[in-house]
Amino acid sequence: MKQSMGVRLWRWTIISVVALYLLVPLYAMFDFSTKPFGFADKGRTFRAWKMITEQPDLWPAISRSLITAAIVMALILFLIVPTAIWVHLKLPVLRRPFELLCLLPLAIPAIVIVVGIAPLYRWISINISESPITLAGVYSMLILPYTYRSLSAALDAVDIHTLAEAATTLGATITRVIFGIIMPTIKTGIVNGSFIAIALVLGEYTISNILNFKTFQVVIAQIGRTNGNVAVAVSLASLLFVIFLLLIIPTKKRQGTVLDVDVA
Amino acid sequence: MSSSAYVQLVDLAKHFGKVKALDGLSLDIAEGELVALLGPSGCGKTTALRALAGLQELDRGSMIVDGKDVTFQNANKRGMGMVFQAYSLFPHMTARENVEYGLKLRAHKTTGDKRKARSAELLELVGLSTHANHYPYQLSGGQQQRVALARALAISPKVLLLDEPLSALDAKVRTQLREEIRRIQMELGTTTLFVTHDQEEALSIADRVGVMRNGQLEQIAAPAELYDRPSTAFVAEFVGLTNPIVGKVSGGSIEILGGVVKTLPGSITSGTGIALVRPESIDVVASASGNATVFSASFLGASCRLSITLSDGARVTAQLPSPDAVGLHAGARVNVSLLDLPVFVKAAG
């Protein structure tokens, strides 16, 4: 059916407004990062972008933050997801308390969490490691509200009980049921939850700064204090990187139509 | 209880809170037999099936399959094939991968080639060999249940358990698929327990039908016997339609509709009782001086159902072959009598 001109116009208007809302700040960042900031600069300059590579603290910070994100991701896959599945499958009584527990990091301000967790991290720094990678622990707690919601919604959308029972009668152990049947079934939920988590980890500033860890965001803030143009260039680059990550999420399109014909 | 039974359920009991889902259920199934458990919702039929699958713990009782006590065996070790009421195909696997799943878990016994051959054979058996590479969302409900059946059969199960597998399907597909289930079951000779609340389904494909009520087996018998010779009032009323007609019982017979018919074992033996008469046991003949009037007639194709008002104002339902019902329209005077078939009689009041 052909859509009327009015509907199409309306649709494109909305899309344009949203696109402008999202793209104008990005363009403004690009504009600022290419503005002349030295006496020698004439017109547009990419000096700030070139200077990114010259920041000694930046690359180690990026790799540390990425490693932290990877550890958080692993914790999500091997701890949080199986726990959420277990609670949904075997301990439905605990669903409400578990949900409430997972929402707590959202209700408690980051600064309060830092104050509470600082003595623990002092101990960790002395006894285990001083690496910012240890932040993965507190981050995996911070991301709970987002990851759990996304997982819970995915788990509610499919009849995991029947799937689990079907796999069990076919001979699967509970580990196989969780990792081989239910996790692939709620893949989209896991991927969505993980990306929110990674975006959060890569963007977190308060906790790492107060605990004196040099993570990606902390270093950007430091650079920003000495050279605003470079800081904005780095921020834009990191945003583009995250957008790139989001675009390559392996979401399988459901193609083909339902064959609603029953053959005798 | 015979010791030769392939499956023996002995005195199974299970309660959920105050509700007794199973209350001393005992059931024997012979090898290769298809037994259907029939009953209203909450009668415990699904609990019994799930207990046999190992998905439901019991308070009491034991289960023996092929001479082996499986009561405390884990569900994943029992080797039961199960088809569920809800669609249960693994959504991230194709039809073939679904069928092969159980075989893959027995990887030490099956090679890749054998698995492929087996899944192809089973998809062929359920008529879906052209859909092997389709994902569940590309299949209709009936096709999904066929694949689920193939998946359950792939592991050559000791017992095939069917938990109302057809209830989510529309009427036409349901009839087709139930006949196919029976054909496949007979072809493979798989011992099968089939749970349903649809009596037509149970009566049409089972070797024996067990009627359950409040966690107990009321009667188990071949479909025709269950229908013609119910041993309790509940079975008589639950399976098929009955007309409750009051009459006097004496000496193993009851006097109703101006005639005398034998009573079935289990009926009351004296006094006033209510005979539970099947619509097709009532004979209706057009007669101007008849003792009853046709109130309404519904044409059902091969047969015709008549609602008839008797001289005392009571109303009964009769069912005749359509050719015999020609001219028996609403308002026609008719003579009503009983065929000489035994009826079940319950106590009045």
CATH number of the domain that residue B321 is part of: 2.40.50.140
Compute the distance between CA of residue B336 and CA of residue B308 in angstroms, rounded to an integer.
9
DSSP A128: T
| B323-335 tens-digit pLDDT | 988 888 888 899 9
Test B84 with A185 for CB contact under 8 angstroms.
no
Q: Which residues of B touch A154 (CB under 8 A)?
A: none
In a domain, B250, yes or no: yes
Instruction: Assess contact for B215 and B22: CB atoms under 8 A.
Output: yes
- Enter the CATH code of domain A55-258: 1.10.3720.10
What is the average pLDDT score of chain B? 91
Strands B68-69 and B60-65: antiparallel
Q: Which residues of A touch B143 (CB under 8 A)?
A: 259, 262
B163 alpha-carbon distance from chain centroid: 11
Test B76 with A173 for CB contact under 8 angstroms.
yes
Mean of the pLDDT values across residues B98-118? Answer: 85
Query: Under DSSP, is residue A29 helix (H, G, I), strand (E, B) or coil?
Result: helix
In a domain, B81, yes or no: yes
| A89-124 tens-digit pLDDT | 989 899 999 999 999 988 888 888 888 888 988 898
Q: Looking at the structure, do residues B180 and B267 belong to the same domain, yes or no?
A: no
Which chain A residue lies closest to B140 (C-alpha atoms)? A260
> Is A31 at the interface with chain B, CB within 8 A?
no
- Torsion angle, alpha carbons of B151, B154, B159, B161, to 10: 10
Whether the predicted pLDDT of B264 surpasses 90: yes
Instruction: Assess contact for A147 and A80: CB atoms under 8 A.
Output: yes
**A170, β-bridge pairs:** none
Whether the predicted pLDDT of A43 surpasses 90: no
Q: Looking at the structure, do residues B23 and B156 belong to the same domain, yes or no?
A: yes
What is the average pLDDT score of chain A? 85
- Using the 3D structure, point to which of B212, B231, B250 is the last residue of a domain: B231
Whether the predicted pLDDT of A264 surpasses 60: no
Instruction: Assess contact for B194 and B203: CB atoms under 8 A.
Output: no
Test B106 with A171 for CB contact under 8 angstroms.
yes
CATH number of the domain that residue B91 is part of: 3.40.50.300
What are the two backbone dihedrals, phi and then psi, of residue A203, each rounded to the nearest 5 degrees? -105, -5
DSSP A133: G
Test A165 with B88 for CB contact under 8 angstroms.
yes
Which chain A residue lies closest to B55 (C-alpha atoms)? A165
Is ipTM over 0.90?
Answer: no
Q: Which of A170, A257, A264 sits opposite B105 (nearest CB)?
A: A170
Residue B34 in tokens: 């298809």
Test B82 with A264 for CB contact under 8 angstroms.
no
Best CA proximity match to B258, nearest among B295, B307, B311, B331: B311
The continuous run of DSSP H or E covering A218 comes out as: helix A216-226
Q: Which residues of A touch B127 (CB under 8 A)?
A: 263-264
| A150-196 tens-digit pLDDT | 899 999 999 999 999 999 999 999 999 999 999 999 998 888 888 88
pLDDT for res B173: 87
Compute the distance between CA of residue A231 and CA of residue A241 in angstroms, rounded to an integer.
15
Who contacts B80 (Cβ-Cβ below 8 Å, separation ≥6)? A169, B52, B53, B54, B157, B158, B159, B160, B161
- pLDDT band at residue A37, thresholds of 50, 70 and 90? confident
Classify the phi-psi angles of B278: left when phi > 0, otherwise alpha if psi is within -120 to 50, otherwise beta: beta
Which chain A residue lies closest to B80 (C-alpha atoms)? A169
Instruction: Assess contact for B263 and B343: CB atoms under 8 A.
Output: yes
Q: Which of B82, B92, B137 sits opposite A169 (nearest CB)?
A: B82
Test A166 with B143 for CB contact under 8 angstroms.
no
Q: Looking at the structure, do residues B172 and B281 belong to the same domain, yes or no?
A: no
Q: Looking at the structure, do residues B193 and B249 belong to the same domain, yes or no?
A: no
Instruction: Assess contact for B174 and B199: CB atoms under 8 A.
Output: no
Test A259 with B105 for CB contact under 8 angstroms.
no
Q: Which of A170, A173, A259 sits opposite B139 (nearest CB)?
A: A259
| B6-39 tens-digit pLDDT | 999 999 999 999 999 999 999 999 999 999 999 9
In a domain, B236, yes or no: no
Instruction: Assess contact for B218 and B230: CB atoms under 8 A.
Output: no
Label each residue of chain B as H, E or C: CCCCCCEEEEEEEEEECCEEEEEEEEEEECCCCEEEEECCCCCCHHHHHHHHHCCCCCCEEEEEECCEECCCCCHHHCCEEEECCCCCCCCCCCHHHHHHHHHHCCCCCCCHHHHHHHHHHHHHHCCCHHHCCCCHHHECHHHHHHHHHHHHHHCCCCEEEEECCCCCCCHHHHHHHHHHHHHHHHHHCCEEEEEECCHHHHHHHCCEEEEEECCEEEEEECHHHHHHCCCCHHHHHHCCCCEEEEEEEECCEEEECCEEEEECCCCCCCEEEEEEECHHHEEEEECCCCCEEEEEEEECCCEEEEEEEECCCCEEEEEEEHHHHCCCCCCCEEEEEECCCCEEEEECC
Pick the more confident residue, B243 or A250. B243
> Is A170 at the interface with chain B, CB within 8 A?
yes
Which chain B residue lies closest to A174 (C-alpha atoms)? B76
Q: Looking at the structure, do residues B146 and B246 belong to the same domain, yes or no?
A: no
Q: Looking at the structure, do residues B201 and B270 belong to the same domain, yes or no?
A: no
Q: Which residues of B touch A89 (CB under 8 A)?
A: none
A179, exposed or middle or buried, with CB in 10 Å at 0-12, 13-18, 19+? middle
Q: Which of B84, B131, B143 sits opposite A166 (nearest CB)?
A: B84
Q: Looking at the structure, do residues B301 and B225 belong to the same domain, yes or no?
A: no
Which chain A residue lies closest to B179 (C-alpha atoms)? A264
Strands B216-221 and B208-213: antiparallel
A-B contacts (CB, under 8 Å): 92
Comma-separated ranges of CATH 1.10.3720.10 domains in chain A: 55-258
- Using the 3D structure, point to which of B176, B207, B231 is the last residue of a domain: B231
Q: Which residues of B touch A256 (CB under 8 A)?
A: 138
Q: Looking at the structure, do residues B216 and B255 belong to the same domain, yes or no?
A: no
pLDDT for res A256: 40
Q: Looking at the structure, do residues B256 and B220 belong to the same domain, yes or no?
A: no
Test B76 with A171 for CB contact under 8 angstroms.
yes
- Report chain B residues touching chain A, CB-CB < 8 A: 53-55, 75-82, 84, 86-88, 90-92, 101-102, 105-106, 127-128, 131, 134, 137-140, 142-143, 148, 151-152, 155, 161, 172-173, 176, 180
Test A262 with B148 for CB contact under 8 angstroms.
no
Instruction: Assess contact for A81 and A150: CB atoms under 8 A.
Output: no
Expressed as residue numbers, the domain containing B65 is 5-231
Counting the structural domains of chain B, the total is 2
Instruction: Assess contact for B253 and B275: CB atoms under 8 A.
Output: no
Compute the distance between CA of residue A185 and CA of residue B157 in angstroms, rounded to an integer.
26
Q: Looking at the structure, do residues B163 and B294 belong to the same domain, yes or no?
A: no
Query: Under DSSP, is residue A119 helix (H, G, I), strand (E, B) or coil?
Result: helix
pLDDT for res B109: 66
pLDDT for res B329: 87
Best CA proximity match to A139, nearest among A210, A240, A212, A71: A71
Test A172 with B76 for CB contact under 8 angstroms.
yes
Whether the predicted pLDDT of A6 surpasses 70: yes
In a domain, B208, yes or no: yes
A66, exposed or middle or buried, with CB in 10 Å at 0-12, 13-18, 19+? middle
Compute the distance between CA of residue B26 and CA of residue B63 in angstroms, rounded to an integer.
9
- Using the 3D structure, point to which of B231, B265, B280 is the last residue of a domain: B231
One-letter amino acid at A206 equals T
Best CA proximity match to B315, nearest among B243, B254, B225: B243
Q: How many CA atoms lie within 13 A of B105 on its CB side?
A: 23
| B138-173 tens-digit pLDDT | 999 999 999 999 999 999 999 999 999 998 888 888
Compute the distance between CA of residue B22 and CA of residue A139 in angstroms, rounded to an integer.
49
Test B138 with A256 for CB contact under 8 angstroms.
yes
| A222-261 tens-digit pLDDT | 887 888 888 888 889 888 877 777 676 555 444 444 443 4
In a domain, B91, yes or no: yes
The C-alpha of A50 sits at a distance from chain B's nearest C-alpha, in angstroms, of 46
Q: Which of A168, A184, A260 sits opposite B140 (nearest CB)?
A: A260
Q: Which residues of A touch B138 (CB under 8 A)?
A: 256-259
Test B139 with A173 for CB contact under 8 angstroms.
no
Q: Which residues of A touch B92 (CB under 8 A)?
A: 184-185, 187
Q: Looking at the structure, do residues B201 and B256 belong to the same domain, yes or no?
A: no
Best CA proximity match to A79, nearest among A37, A155, A133, A141: A141
One-letter amino acid at B217 equals L
Whose tokens are 């990026």? That residue is A62
Q: Looking at the structure, do residues B197 and B64 belong to the same domain, yes or no?
A: yes
- pLDDT band at residue B108, thresholds of 50, 70 and 90? low
Test B90 with A162 for CB contact under 8 angstroms.
no
Q: Which residues of B touch A167 (CB under 8 A)?
A: 90, 101
Label each residue of A63-107 as H, E or C: HHHHHHHHHHHHHHHHHHHHHHHHHHHHCHHHHHHHHHHHHHHHH
Test B140 with A262 for CB contact under 8 angstroms.
yes
